[in-house]
DNA sequence: GGAAAGTACTTTAAACCTAAAATATTTATG
DNA sequence: CATAAATATTTTAGGTTTAAAGTACTTTCC
């Protein structure tokens, strides 16, 4: 069987791998565009960085607090990275470190009341921005896409790089 | 009319804005996961960073070369950022800077023959990785998603921050 | 021609980010 | 108990990233 006729068997003129490559470029550009827009608005309107907002959002959702490893895994950033972000938030009294009695290697990071109050305000604006920036997606489209994205390369990012 | 019955009229129990927020989180996590995976493979198998690969990919596609502003806009990264990436690629003799006669403010960046040859090898592997990481998307799904993502917040990122 | 505005790029400072090595602590195992 | 392995975090070094300021050059407009 010739290459040409084998090609003709499936209906894709463009190879699927090229199509997926295009999709990846678009996905990356979309994420970067939205991230950049959010970053700029957070900075100008609330004088906060995007990574700091991300950490506060994670902590707001987990009122009991989180340790550093949980944070790095959830946010898909490297372990050592979280240290600096928490340092800066702690300097601004937006988060605090609590030592649990059981394990002296780790500690729990929580939002302070000041941090929680400030986050509530920023989060409201943030949700509105996302609503605006993703206005092209209706409820059904959004749900479908969420499902597709969930089963992607389940990120083995974050956490310790050693294994 | 009660709130409950109004709720029942459209089919979304969850407000659309919350749905879009969830979509954004998923989109970001997917992009970060794939990016992290690519970064790691590029580093381990080809000793190159992801941003350097991105720049080389842009240059490989534009054989006539690109100037710094075009690069920063295409890659959606800030203007000053590209300088350092090009510096390192130039140190490794993978790209070269060419001064056009017309405008002495700018210059054209091109792949060197060495850079083009090296990129061809890496790009082949890269396409395979994307094919693997986006295996969940078939041809129709990919095409549909590309269309949806195209009409998003058309990134006004990159380029000069002044206006 | 010459000032003013715009454009292209670099530099700087601060934050971010990763990977790897280091430190401290806890758990598992003989 | 003692040692080894695992876990949680920090530190370090190097690259990335942004925003803003700075330099150099070009265009516009009088």
* Structural domain contains residue A122: yes
* Structural domain contains residue B4: no
Confidence (pLDDT) at B159: 37
Distance A17 CA to C16 C1' (A): 32
Tens digit of each residue's pLDDT, chain B (163 residues): 554 444 444 544 578 999 999 999 989 888 988 998 999 999 999 999 999 999 999 999 998 999 999 999 888 888 889 999 999 999 989 999 988 878 888 999 999 999 999 999 999 999 999 999 999 899 998 998 888 888 775 544 443 333 2
Question: Domain of A121: which CATH number?
Answer: 1.10.10.10
* Structural domain contains residue B98: yes
Q: Please give the average pLDDT of every successive group of 10 residues along chain A, which has 163 residues.
A: 48 77 90 91 93 95 93 92 94 92 91 96 96 92 88 49 34
Interface test with B, best of A12, A13, A17, A19 (most B CBs within 10 A): A19
Distance B103 CA to C2 C1' (A): 21
Distance B69 CA to C20 C1' (A): 35
* Structural domain contains residue A19: no
CA distances from B92 to B49, B61, B86, B97, B114 (A): 13, 20, 10, 13, 10
Confidence (pLDDT) at A153: 54
* Structural domain contains residue A163: no
Decide if B117 touches A, using CB distance below 8 A: no
Decide if B77 touches A, using CB distance below 8 A: yes
* Structural domain contains residue B89: yes
- E strand map for A7-102: 95-98
Q: Say if the Cβ atoms of A26 and B151 lie within 8 Å.
A: no
Confidence (pLDDT) at A7: 47
Interface test with B, best of A149, A151, A154, A160 (most B CBs within 10 A): A149
- E strand map for chain A: 95-98, 108-111
Considering its fold, how many domains does chain B have in total?
1
Token couple for A28: 């990356």
* Structural domain contains residue A66: yes
Of B31, B38, B61, which is closest to residue B127 (Cα–Cα)?
B38
Q: Say if the Cβ atoms of A16 and B131 lie within 8 Å.
A: yes
Q: Give the pairing type, strands B95-98 and B108-111.
A: antiparallel
A chain contacts of residue B55, beta-carbon cutoff 8 Å: none
Residue A130 is part of which domain span?
Answer: 50-135
* Structural domain contains residue A40: no
């Amino acid at each position: 069987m010739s290459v040409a006729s084998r090609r003709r068997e499936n209906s894709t003129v463009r190879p699927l791998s090229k199509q997926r490559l295009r999709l990846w470029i678009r996905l990356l550009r979309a994420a970067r565009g939205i991230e950049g827009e959010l970053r700029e608005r957070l900075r100008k309107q609330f004088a906060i960085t995007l990574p700091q907002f991300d950490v506060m959002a994670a902590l707001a959702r987990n009122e009991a607090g989180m340790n550093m490893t949980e944070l790095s895994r959830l946010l898909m950033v490297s372990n050592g990275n979280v240290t600096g972000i928490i340092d800066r938030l702690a300097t601004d009294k937006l988060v605090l470190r609590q030592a649990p009695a059981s394990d002296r290697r780790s500690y729990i990071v929580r939002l302070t009341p000041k941090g929680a109050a400030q986050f509530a305000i920023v989060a409201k604006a943030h949700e509105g921005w996302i609503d605006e920036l993703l206005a092209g997606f209706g409820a059904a489209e959004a749900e479908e896409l969420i499902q597709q994205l969930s089963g992607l390369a389940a990120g083995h990012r974050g956490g310790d790089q050693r294994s």
